[in-house]
Structure 1
Amino acid sequence: MIKRVAANGIDIAYDSFGPPSGRPLLLIMGLGAQLIQWDEGLCELLAEQGHHVVRFDNRDVGLSTHFHDHGVPEAGTPAPYTLNDLADDTVALMDVLGWTAAHLVGASMGGMVAQTLAIRHPKRVLTLTSIMSTTGPSVAPPTEAAMAVMAGQLPEDRDTAAEQAVTTWSVIGSPGYELDRDRIRQLAGQAYDRSFDPAGVARQMAAIVASGDRTEALAHVRVPTLVLHGEDDPLIPVVGGQATAAAIPGARLVTYPGMGHDLPRELWPEFVAEITKLTDSIQA
């Protein structure tokens, strides 16, 4: 069941899996992606391994607060907010949940938010897992094909949004695994129904750019860190994961042939095993 709570001056929508007595595990999604992009099946697998799993909508997506008054950011103007604000939103949600600290798992922009949180609020982080992410916007530029599909024309309706999602994931998804077109259409339609706000995605993108490179700051992170990345990711190439692991002392890097910029169902058991190994090593 989706809940909405006040945190850091905004409303944040979230839901959870597993018993509250489990190890606190917070899932942070990427650019323009809603909490539903953390598939319920993956969340349940993590819960089965003793985690209390929470997934949520970042600001400007889904059912959390949208900053409509800021419109679409224009070049040369300050971003309405930065990744610092997204990290602080996440900490405020943890406060509402009663979590003094949590295991963080962030995908893509969510990995950037998790990294930023570990930098800004190190005592609130038990472990850090950064998936298909990077240390800064210029470290791992996308391929031309990925850039083109991400900059495509905005859909005019729900059906068009679903078909464009299939086109997008056929380019940036995992070439080594079969594309589940029906599931992609279903999720895209569900996301459209929950909230369709391209300007919000643009504001998140502005936050990424405005936040710059984290390499120097990540050198001071001392929490146990896992970096997962696809070797065939065209949106954030594997060099982004390599740079993240190199920046954080003691980080463990695991890469997957055939994985692109998504979370293939076939790899869920491996993701869960790696994350559980990390969280098992720390007592909250």
Structure 2
Amino acid sequence: MLETQERFVTSGRLRLWTERAGHPDQPAVLLIMGSAAQGISCPDPLIARLVERGVQVIRFDHRDTGRSSVVDFDAHPYAIADLAADCLAVLDGYGLPAAHVAGMSMGGMIAQWLAVHEPARIRSLTVLTSSPMGYDPRPAWARAQGGEPPAPDDLSPPSPAFLAHLAAGMPPGVESDVALFRVFNGPVRPFDEPAARAMLELALSRATDPAAAAHHDLAGQTFAPDRLAPLSSITAPTTIVHGDQDPIFPLGHGEALAAAIPGSRLHVVPGMGHTFFSPGLPEEIADLIRL
């Protein structure tokens, strides 16, 4: 069984739940999860495999998720830069001047922000199932939902299966989340529903305010100049990991990232969607994270 130690760290007025696996003398990997996702959404087998590779692994709950502080978003709105500052606070809380950083989906955009604006803190960068941090997908999504042809600068919109799930309007709760993760998984690889359900039930039980995670959507819709900085300035060794069945950010998003970041490697994972809940996939992804 994976041995871990929990700790709360501070980021300004906020308290962030964190957890470390592995020996503190080893190089560190900071895992940054996606929009509305708690740290526990990263499967334990992925973390265990990374520890086997000789690193310590730190995961954490973003603000407004899990056991971390809940924010009054109307009074104190935040953006990707603020979520990136939380990541730096986690590193500071563990006394780490730098770490290997792996970010998934929105976490991948936060990781890009860090690599652009705080390069000294990034030993290597792995961007998983994500999109360029300055790209606004909303116009392309709207065109796809309205049956319009794509614009010349559009990256591929989400899959019809994902758009249909949104249109179905299932009530919030574990069953809706399991259905969403089934769509996230994609149609090719088997979906480990028991593992996903167990994680989602645990996430609901430990969330201080489950509704607060919706603030991440608002944060993601803010495109300040810091987020529009060119990815060509990234100097950290970078790997882009993307599935060819991603229903949220189809493969073109990963290809766009690889084209924008000098010297980056693109690793396309056959059959992978937008989550890691398929048998054997967590270990496969752990082996692709750049160290």
TM bin (shorter chain): 0.7 to 0.9
- Asked whether 1:271 is paired with 2:285, we answer yes
Q: Which amino acid in the other structure matches residue 65 of structure 1?
A: S
Aligned to 2:17: 13
1:163 maps to a residue whose letter is: E
Question: SS of the residue aligned with 1:203?
Answer: helix
Q: What is the alpha-carbon root mean square deviation over aligned residues?
A: 2.0
Q: Counterpart amino acid of 2:100? A: H
- Change in 2 beyond 3 A, CA 1:242/1:197: farther
Cα drift, residue 99 of structure 1: 0.5
Counterpart CA distance in 2 for 1:22 and 1:66 is: 32
CA-to-partner distance for each residue in 1:93-122, whole Å, 9 max, x for gaps?
111110001100001111011111111111
Deviation string, structure 1 residues 26-82 (Cα, Å, up to 9, x no partner)? 0000011111111112111101111110000011111111114538xxxxxxx9111
- 1:219 CA drift (Å): 1.0
CA distance in 2: counterparts of 1:80 and 1:7, whole angstroms: 15
Once the two structures are superposed, residues 234-257 of structure 1 have per-residue CA deviations (whole angstroms, 9 ceiling, x without a partner) of: 111111111111111111000112
**Contact persistence 2:8–2:17 (CA under 8 A):** yes
- Give the Å deviation of 1:2: 2.8
Contact 2:21 2:57 in 1 (8 A): yes
Is the contact made by 1:134 and 1:240 (CA closer than 8 Å) also made in structure 2? yes
Residue in 2 that maps onto 1:74: none
Give aligned-pair identity as a percent. 37
Matched, 1:90 2:84: no
Using the TM superposition, give the Cα deviation of residue 215 of structure 1 relative to its aligned residue in structure 2, in angstroms: 6.4
Give the aligned partner of residue 187 of structure 1. Answer: 199
- Could you say if the C-alpha distance between residues 150 and 103 of structure 1 is closer, same or farther in structure 2, counting changes exceeding 3 Å? farther
Unaligned 5+ runs, structure 1: 72-78, 156-160, 280-284
Matched-pair contact (CA < 8 Å) for 2:33–2:107: yes
Consecutive unaligned residues of structure 2, counting only runs of 5 or more, are 138-154
Normalization by structure 2: what TM-score? 0.85
Kindly tell me: are residues 199 and 210 of structure 1, through their superposed partners in 2, closer, same or farther at Cα, counting changes over 3 Å?
Answer: farther
| SS in structure 1 at match of 2:230 | helix
Structure 1 residues 108, 69: closer, same or farther in 2, change over 3 A? closer
**Partner of 2:151 in structure 1?**
none
Pairing of 1:214-253 with structure 2 (within 5 A) = 214=227, 216-253=229-266
Counterparts of 1:1-284 in structure 2 under 5 Å? 1-68=5-72, 70=74, 80-135=77-132, 136-138=135-137, 139-150=155-166, 152-155=169-172, 161-195=173-207, 197=209, 199-211=211-223, 214=227, 216-263=229-276, 264-275=278-289, 278-279=290-291
Tell me, what secondary structure is at the counterpart of 2:246?
Answer: coil
Is the 8 Å Cα contact of residues 165 and 184 (structure 1) preserved in structure 2?
A: no
**Partner Cα distance (1:150, 1:30) in 2:** 18
**233-242 or 193-202, larger mean C-alpha shift:** 193-202
Greater displacement, 176-185 / 234-243? 176-185
Cα 1:260–1:196 shift into 2, 3 Å: farther
Q: Secondary structure at 1:236's aligned position in 2?
A: coil
Q: 2:65, 2:166 → 1: CA distance?
A: 17
Question: Alpha-carbon deviation of 1:212?
Answer: 6.3
